[in-house]
Amino acid sequence: MEKIYLPSEYQRRIKRVLVSQEEIASAIEKVGQEINESYDGRPILLVSILKGSFVFLADLCRAITVPCEIGFMCAKSYYNDTVSSGVVKITMDLDQDVSKYHVIIVEDIIDTGRTLCDVVKMLRARKPLSLKVVTLLDKPDRRVVDFHADRVLFTIPDLFVIGYGLDYDEYYRTLPYIAEYDEGGNEDV
C-alpha cells in the first residue's frame, strides 16, 4: 500500500482504518462481475445518492462492463453533525424516466434506513423494470426502519465513519479507505 500524505488535522481525526483501500477494490470488482452476469443485455440505470456515494459509484461503474447509464439524486439527512437529523429531504431528483430501466441504487452507507426507505418508495412509484440497492456499508445496529439492501459490501459496527466519499462536515471524503472518525481528535497533539 502506498503511503498517503494527510494533513495533521486529518491524521488527528482518524481513530483507525476499518476497511482498507484494497478490501474496497476487491469487493467492488466482485459486485461489478455479479452485475455483469445478472444484467447483460438489459437496460441498467445506476443511481448515485449524492454526495457520499459518488466515489463508490465511480469505481463500481468502471467495474461493470455491460452498458449502463448513470443518474444522480441528492437526499440529505445529516446536517453538520455525527447524528442523523431524522428528516430526509430530496434536494436533487433524477432526469431519467426510470420505467425504462433496471434501477440499481448505489449508496454509500445505510444507517437508520430512513433515507433509502424514502428514496426506494419514491422510485418504486415510478415503476422501474426492477429496483435493487447496493450499499458500500451497512450499520444494522442503527436501523430505525425495516430496510435491507440487496447487496452489502461491508457491515460495520455503530461508529461514525469517514473516507471513500463519506464525510464529516464536508471533509474527509477523499480518504481512499473507510476510517472511524475520532471526535476528540487527540486534543493534546
Nearest to 134 by CA among 85, 79, 64, 86: 64
- Return d(Cα 18, Cα 22) in angstroms, integer: 12
Does residue 45 contact residue 101 with C-beta atoms inside 8 Å? yes
Does residue 63 contact residue 136 with C-beta atoms inside 8 Å? no
Does residue 17 contact residue 177 with C-beta atoms inside 8 Å? yes
Q: Which of 111, 118, 138, 188 is catalytic?
A: 111
111 flagged as catalytic = yes
Q: Which residues are known to be catalytic?
A: 111
